[in-house]
């Protein structure tokens, strides 16, 4: 009984130990599971933190990208706003010496591989391959092998020497040929430099003497050196009248597209996208008007400042754009601005402190009120009519058949033509008798209430510049006649003093180009003005 009791006690102890071990194992497993869970949670937490950091950095990078794009737009707008100011710090005078090239020859430098020749081969180097006579060969007097190898070594040495001498001769010949070619290139280059310098000297002489082509060339180089933002075409053509020292510039202005349509870029985190904030239409148009004004004043400033020969008294700037007519789909070139400035008056302007558009108004500029909508203005002086003979680049005889020459008219017929023109323009015009006109060729009445009144018109079929005396006479006639307005019509052009005199007075000057324009536009008459050859 006692033995059984001891067995059962031992068995219970085993069972208890087994249960304890199971509990320990289960506790260990659960602890490991908890540790594994904690590890996984820690990894997830660390991963989440890393993702958060990455997401934050990504958002910061995208926001910085948007800010950078906004900065680029701001920089461009700033450049557009300071077009005029940028040129004020630059001396636009062209240094003729910078056009010359120094007569400098380029030293001859043969290719590196031809600089050093190779030395002649050494006989001993070839003899190293010849095996000496062995004792047995010497004992048996058998020297055939040695003699054969010796002859072969001598042959190889002679051939290598011949090739080396030929290669050296070819190297020297190549160097000599390259030297001759180099000298020829040097001579050609120097001839080109001398020719260029000779042309520069000729340009300087022609410019100093005021030749039209030289003045145009010089002014073209001045304008070509002018630096503008990207998108500005900088295409132009120049005409110069040496008699009145007048330069006419037909200048292609940038299109409206140079104004950034976007005002700002913003990063939208919720959409993960960079979105554009459009620039207000009114602001786009305002900036465009400012750009046109700036380009105009800057161009006039540059040619006047660069006028080291004193060849410019008047500059006429006609600015146009290349565009498409939205109503017809055809290409058009509307003029958006036209201004005439005298050097004396323009140099009195402080361009650093002006309001650009107010300055243009003071200069009497014709400015499109809606440049963005391509609303055109009439140029003050037509580019193609600058030449004092008004001869176009066509067959003159054939042209005369369809276009009457105004210079063929008698003075009375010319006065009649002017009177008819103003009748077509809506005025009640009456031609005066030539012997009793009292300085009046045509009297016209503007029948509109309040703004109308009497208009006296004088017609001058002149070939030379109309001076201030004719304009002063017209002003006196206006006072005598009690006229509200005076108009002087001429087949030629007016001097600087004439335009100065009419400032603030109710007088309008119409030159030859303007007369031809009005004849075609208002009366449907395609005329021309060609002075006789002996009047050129």
pLDDT, tens only, 229-287: 988 998 999 999 888 888 999 999 999 999 999 999 998 888 888 898 999 999 999 99
**CA–CA distance, 218 with 163 (Å, rounded to integer):** 62
Residues 33, 20: Cα–Cα separation, whole Å: 19
User: What pLDDT score was predicted for residue 461?
Assistant: 85
**What are 353-412's pLDDT values in tens digits?**
999 989 998 888 889 888 888 888 888 777 665 544 333 333 332 333 445 788 888 887
CA–CA distance, 169 with 502 (Å, rounded to integer) = 86
User: Is residue 23 predicted with pLDDT exceeding 80?
Assistant: no
DSSP states of 427-469:
-EEEEPPTTS-TT-SEEEEE-STTT-EEEEEEEE--SS-B-HH
Name the CATH architecture for the domain at 396-535: 3-Layer(aba) Sandwich (3.40)
List every span in the chain annotated with CATH 3.40.1350.10.
396-535
Taking the model in full, what pTM does it have? Answer: 0.60
Q: What pLDDT sits at residue 191?
A: 84
What pLDDT, on a 0 to 100 scale, did the predictor assign at position 423?
84
Mean pLDDT within 519-530: 81
- With bands split at pLDDT 50, 70 and 90, how would you rate the model's confidence at 465? confident
pLDDT digits (tens, 9 = 90+) for 162-208: 888 888 888 888 888 888 888 888 888 888 888 888 888 888 898 99
Interaxial angle between packed helices 2-81 and 281-305, expressed in degrees from 0 to 180 and rounded to the nearest 10? 50
Q: Are 251 and 233 in contact (CB under 8 A)?
A: no
What SS3 state is found at 323?
Answer: strand
Burial class of residue 513 in the structure, from the number of CB atoms within 10 Å of its CB (0-12 exposed, 13-18 middle, 19+ buried):
buried
Nearest to 530 by CA among 418, 340, 394: 394
Give the total residue count for the chain. Answer: 536
pLDDT in tens, 76-107: 999 999 999 999 988 889 888 887 777 777 88
């Amino acid at each position: 009984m006692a033995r059984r009791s001891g067995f059962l006690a031992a068995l219970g102890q085993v069972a208890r130990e087994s249960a304890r071990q199971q509990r320990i194992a289960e506790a260990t497993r659960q602890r490991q599971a908890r540790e594994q869970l904690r590890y996984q949670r820690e990894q997830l937490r660390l991963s989440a933190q890393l993702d958060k950091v990455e997401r934050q950095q990504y958002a910061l990078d995208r926001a910085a990208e948007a800010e950078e794009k906004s900065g680029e737009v701001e920089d461009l707008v700033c450049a557009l706003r300071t077009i005029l100011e940028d040129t004020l710090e630059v001396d636009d005078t062209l240094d003729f010496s910078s056009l010359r090239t120094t007569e400098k020859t380029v030293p001859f430098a043969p290719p590196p591989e031809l600089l050093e020749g190779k030395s002649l081969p050494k006989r001993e180097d070839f003899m190293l391959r010849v095996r000496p006579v062995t004792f047995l060969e010497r004992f048996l007097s058998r020297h055939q092998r040695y003699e054969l190898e010796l002859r072969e070594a001598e042959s190889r040495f002679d051939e290598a020497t011949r090739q080396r001498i030929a290669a050296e001769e070819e190297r020297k010949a190549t160097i000599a040929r390259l030297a001759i070619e180099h000298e020829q290139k040097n001579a050609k280059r120097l001839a080109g430099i001398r020719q260029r310098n000779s042309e520069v000297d000729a340009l300087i002489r022609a410019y100093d003497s005021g030749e039209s082509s030289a003045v145009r060339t010089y002014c073209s180089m001045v304008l070509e050196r002018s630096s503008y933002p990207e998108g500005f075409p900088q295409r132009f053509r120049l005409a110069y009248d040496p008699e009145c020292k007048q330069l006419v510039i037909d200048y292609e202005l940038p299109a409206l597209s140079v104004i950034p349509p976007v005002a700002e870029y913003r990063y939208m985190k919720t959409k993960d996208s960079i979105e554009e904030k459009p620039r207000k239409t009114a602001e786009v148009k305002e900036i465009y008007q400012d750009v046109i004004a700036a380009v105009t004043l800057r161009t006039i400033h540059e040619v006047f400042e660069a006028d080291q020969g004193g060849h410019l008294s008047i500059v006429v700037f006609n600015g146009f754009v290349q565009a498409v007519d939205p109503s017809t789909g055809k290409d058009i070139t509307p003029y958006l601005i036209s201004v005439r400035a005298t050097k004396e008056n323009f140099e009195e302007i402080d361009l650093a402190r002006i309001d650009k558009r107010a300055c243009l108004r003071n200069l009497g500029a014709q400015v499109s009120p809606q440049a963005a909508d391509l609303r055109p203005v009439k140029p003050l002086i037509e580019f193609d009519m600058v030449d004092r003979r008004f001869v176009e680049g066509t067959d003159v005889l054939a042209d005369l058949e369809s276009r009457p020459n105004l210079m063929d008219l008698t003075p009375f017929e010319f006065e009649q033509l002017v009177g008819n023109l103003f009748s077509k323009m809506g005025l009640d015009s009456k031609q005066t008798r030539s012997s009793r006109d009292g300085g009046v060729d045509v009297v016209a009445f503007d029948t509109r209430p309040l703004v109308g009144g009497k208009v006296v018109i004088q017609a001058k079929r002149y070939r030379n510049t109309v001076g201030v005396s004719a304009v002063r006479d017209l002003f006196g006639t206006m006072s005598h006649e009690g006229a509200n307005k005076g108009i002087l019509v001429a087949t030629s052009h007016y001097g600087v003093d004439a335009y100065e005199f009419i400032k603030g007075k109710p007088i309008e000057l119409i030159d030859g180009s303007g007369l031809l324009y009005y004849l075609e536009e208002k009366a449907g008459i395609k005329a021309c003005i060609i002075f006789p050859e002996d009047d050129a």
